Amino acid sequence: MNRFNPRKLGSSKWTACQPVNREKHFMVTELICDEDGTPLQIELEAVYSRRKQVLDWRELRDSQRWKFGWC
């Protein structure tokens, strides 16, 4: 399990363990929070294709799918 502070996810870099369509490296471009400032979701952008996707921030805790940083 990856450990991190969800409030510090902005501009963080991630590597997919099983890349799809040559999209291996990703960057968090936006942290979506509720009115109280509690993180709900993130916008993740693929470096290779610039494709964006919105995920629950808790999915990044799965060390089988994501590694912190660019490996």
pLDDT in the model for residue 50: 97
DSSP 8-state assignment for residue 16? E
Longest dimension (CA), the chain: 37
pLDDT in the model for residue 55: 97
Structure tokens at 21: 């369509």
| Residues near 8 by beta carbon (within 8 Å), at least 6 away in sequence | none
Whether the Cβ atoms of residue 9 and residue 29 lie closer than 8 Å to each other:
no
pLDDT in the model for residue 24: 97
pLDDT in the model for residue 27: 98
pLDDT in the model for residue 48: 96
pLDDT in the model for residue 46: 98
Which segments of the chain have a pLDDT < 70? Answer: none
Decide: pTM greater than 0.85. yes
